[in-house]
Structure 1
Amino acid sequence: MSTHICRQFRVTGRVQGVFFRASARQEAKRLGLTGHARNEPDGSVTGLICGDREAIAAFEAWLWQGPDAALVSRVELSDSDADPPTDFGTG
C-alpha cells in the first residue's frame, strides 16, 4: 500500500492578507509535498496537499499555526482521491 495520499484542507480565521498561501507553498515544498492553496470569497483558504503521510501530517500541524500574522480559528481536513499535481500552486 502506498504511503502517498492527498488531503483537502480549509482554514478559517485571519488567513487572507497575511501571506498564508505563499507560506503554505514554502512549507509544502520544504516537506516535499505538492498541491495548491487559494483564497475563497468567504475569507478562508482552501487547498489540496499530496505526498507522504508523515509529511502531510506535519503540514496539517503547520496549518494550525500558519505564518506569523495569521490567526487560525479552524482547520477542516478530508481525504481526496484527486490526481497529485506535480508542484504546489497558489492560484
Structure 2
Amino acid sequence: MTVRFLVSGRVQGVHFRAATREQALRLRLSGHARNLDDGRVEVLAAGEAQAVEALAQWLEDGPPAARVAGVERCAHAGPAPEEGFATF
C-alpha cells in the first residue's frame, strides 16, 4: 500500500520530517517526507497497510513542537514499495 499525505500547520522547522522518518523506519515503511513551497509537508509512505495506518495516526499530532492543522490523504498511483523506495 502506498499513500501520499499532505500535512499542514506548523510543520516546517520543527523537526517534523526527521521525526516522521524515525516513525516510518520503526514501522518498516519506505518513502519520503519533504517540505513543500506552500508550507506543508508531503509524506509518501509505502508498506504494509497496518503500518501505513499507524503512521497516518501519528501524523495527526506529529512531534511535540509541531502544530498539525490538517492531514490530507491521497491515494498514490506511483511505484509499488518494492519498485520505488529503498528506505525512508
The partner residue of 1:16 within 6, 12, 33 is 12
Q: Which residue of 1 aligns with 2:28?
A: 32
Identity %: 46
Aligned-partner Cα distance in 1 for 2:39–2:74: 19
* TM-score, scaled to structure 1: 0.89
The answer for unaligned runs of 5 or more in structure 2 is none
- Kindly indicate whether residue 86 of structure 2 is the aligned counterpart of residue 86 of structure 1: yes
Q: How many residues align?
A: 84
Deviation at 1:69, TM superposition (A): 0.2
Distance, in Å, in 2 between the alignment partners of 1:81 and 1:43 is 24
In structure 2, distance between residues paired with 1:67 and 1:22: 9
**In structure 1, distance between residues paired with 2:43 and 2:74:** 11
Q: In 2, Cα distance between the equivalents of 1:12 and 1:46?
A: 9
Distance 2:58 2:43 in 1: 14
Deviation at 1:47, TM superposition (A): 2.2
Encode CA deviations 1:41-67: one digit per residue, 9 max, x unaligned.
Answer: 111001210000000000000000100
1:72 deviation in Å?
A: 0.2
The alignment's TM-score, normalised by the length of structure 2, stands at 0.92
Q: Between Structure 1 and Structure 2, which shows a larger proportion of helix residues?
A: 2
- Provide the rounded CA distance (Å) in 2 between the counterparts of 1:78 and 1:40: 16
- RMSD of aligned alpha carbons: 0.7
- For 1:87, the aligned partner's letter is T
Divergent runs of 4+, >6 A: none
